[in-house]
Structure 1
Amino acid sequence: MSKLHFTLTLLLLLFYTLSPAQVGIGTTSPEAMLDVNGTFKLRSTINESDINIIKENILVTSSSGMVNTIMSSDVIDAALPTMVKASFSSAGDISHILSLGACTLQFNQEEIDNNNEFDTSTNTYTAKQGGVYTIGAQVKLNTSLIAVNTDIGIGIYKNGTLIAEQRFISVIVSIPLGSDIEVSSPIRSVTATTDLATGDSIEFKITAIDILGIPLSSISILGGNVESFCSIYQIR
């Protein structure tokens, strides 16, 4: 090899070593330092035993084909179906102030929320992943504070639209020289199965209208978590 040939070869090696040029295999327009348009094969790999690396570095490909790293816990969380159960933070009477006879139920305590999708400050669930969900809620009314023969219901609202409801008149019979008797159930419960897209919201609302059709201004609910709660579960 001549001295000139050697010098040119050395300069080329230095250029490719120092240059940040992108290299394409199967493409003339690479979009990364190494851009492979097609499949590739690894004939052997090293089994990683460092638990810290296993926890923090997993290779994934994006929809555009880019190879990135993510936390291993994120892979597990993304595969977990939604499970939510929320209730009231107090076990006593929970007073709800109604606007035009309705308001969002103030479930402000999470018992289960594996994907962190229920906001206790707004009492709203927002789906992080699309799928089919079973949704339900139940409340137990404090009948001692309910007006006679009041129409009370509980509903599930998807993106602000009612999709399921149970409501009936809470009948109280007055006994002469005796105590009033509640003859209808103080429990209101509702369930629904629906599809949700990413970003869809779910709220639970209580409604109350008196015997004359006038909306109530407030209603009292018993806050025990076996009496009043909501749940959301992703089934597929």
Structure 2
Amino acid sequence: MKKYIVGFLVFSSFLTHAQIGIGTTTPTSQLDVNGDLRVRATTLGTGLEAAKDSILVINYKGVVKRVTSKQIYDSHIKSFVKGSASGTINLGTTISATAYKTIPFSTEEFDENSDYNTTTYQFTAPQNGIYNVYVQYELTTLVATTGVGVAIFVQRSGTNTLEAEEIFDSINISVLTVNVNVSPPTRKTSTLVKLNAGDKIFFGAAAGTTISLLSGSKSFFTIMQVK
């Protein structure tokens, strides 16, 4: 009887510490299956908590690991941002060598993935994809000057690129020998851009004179990741 007990203990210890291979003679985990895995029956659970936090995935080495459902969701969440400003918008610093100056949109209406920085006034792409970008502003007063415009810029590897713009020059109209310069007060533009993770989007306004912009529904931007 003692021999059987000793043998059982040795065998149990072997099973506890050994690596078992199915379809392989060189297992690298406690159970290493080289092939398909089939489960013929499962137990139906009634609690939702386990389902919310019990997702099994296979990494590039074929090892099964558990991750939370939130991690899976957050890694694929798309960007949806709308921003404006709480008061009259005064333009910021000059953008590169162009005539444009930064539009300091400092207020967010929503930002589903926290991708926009209200201090630097830049949106940072969280992942590679296609993004739909729209921006508009309205001047606080009509101006009689040329080159009043709005633009969308993308920064890739530290280099700023103008992606889209709209510029109006004032038109001189003569009415009863009185010359009047007219120009629409609103500027707007939009585009689709292909971004890599880390690329930045920001906005600029240009004018031959000092201008101020209305806020709220008059001057705002939206960014939506479509792919």
TM-score range, shorter chain: 0.7 to 0.9
Residues 124-151 of structure 1 show CA distances to partners (whole Å, capped at 9, x for unaligned) of 222223222211111112225x5x3141
- Specify the alignment match of 2:203 in structure 1: 204
CA 1:141/1:68 → structure 2, altered by over 3 Å: closer, same or farther? farther
Q: Is the CA contact 2:92–2:102 (under 8 Å) kept in the aligned structure 1?
A: no
Instruction: Output aligned runs, 1:124-135, within 5 Å.
Output: 124-135=122-133
Give the TM-score normalised by structure 2. Answer: 0.79
- Specify the alignment match of 1:60 in structure 2: 57
Q: Is the CA contact 2:133–2:222 (under 8 Å) kept in the aligned structure 1?
A: yes
Aligned length: 219
Q: Is the CA contact 1:170–1:186 (under 8 Å) kept in the aligned structure 2?
A: no
Q: Is the CA contact 2:20–2:27 (under 8 Å) kept in the aligned structure 1?
A: yes
SS of 2:193's partner is strand
Structure 1 position 16 matched with structure 2 position 20: no
Aligned letter for 1:68?
A: K
CA 1:50/1:156 → structure 2, altered by over 3 Å: closer, same or farther? same
Q: Root-mean-square deviation (CA), in Å?
A: 3.1
Q: Is the CA contact 2:164–2:191 (under 8 Å) kept in the aligned structure 1?
A: yes
CA 1:111/1:47 → structure 2, altered by over 3 Å: closer, same or farther? farther
What CA distance in whole angstroms lies between the structure 1 residues aligned with 2:27 and 2:180? 79
Structure 1 position 93 matched with structure 2 position 91: no
What CA distance in whole angstroms lies between the structure 2 residues aligned with 1:114 and 1:75? 16
Q: Is the CA contact 2:89–2:103 (under 8 Å) kept in the aligned structure 1?
A: no
CA 1:54/1:108 → structure 2, altered by over 3 Å: closer, same or farther? farther
Identity %: 35
Q: 2:81 aligns with which of 81, 84, 92?
A: 84
Aligned letter for 2:127?
A: Q
Aligned letter for 2:145?
A: N
How far did 1:50 drift? 1.9
Give the TM-score normalised by structure 1. Answer: 0.77
Aligned letter for 1:185?
A: P
- Specify the alignment match of 1:235 in structure 2: 226
Which sections of structure 1, spanning at least 5 residues, go unmatched? Answer: 211-215
CA 1:51/1:174 → structure 2, altered by over 3 Å: closer, same or farther? farther
Residues 147-185 of structure 1 show CA distances to partners (whole Å, capped at 9, x for unaligned) of x31412221122221111112225588999x9x966211
Instruction: Output aligned runs, 1:1-236, within 5 Å.
Output: 3-4=2-3, 7-17=6-16, 19=17, 21-88=18-85, 90=86, 92-99=87-94, 101-143=99-141, 146=143, 148-159=144-155, 160-170=160-170, 183-208=182-207, 210=208, 218-224=210-216, 226-236=217-227
Residues 44-103 of structure 1 show CA distances to partners (whole Å, capped at 9, x for unaligned) of 222332232233332223333332333323434444433221111x1x311113426433
What CA distance in whole angstroms lies between the structure 1 residues aligned with 2:79 and 2:141? 34
Q: Mean alpha-carbon deviation: is it higher for 49-58 or for 158-167?
A: 49-58
How far did 1:29 drift? 4.6
SS of 2:70's partner is helix
What CA distance in whole angstroms lies between the structure 2 residues aligned with 1:78 and 1:149? 47
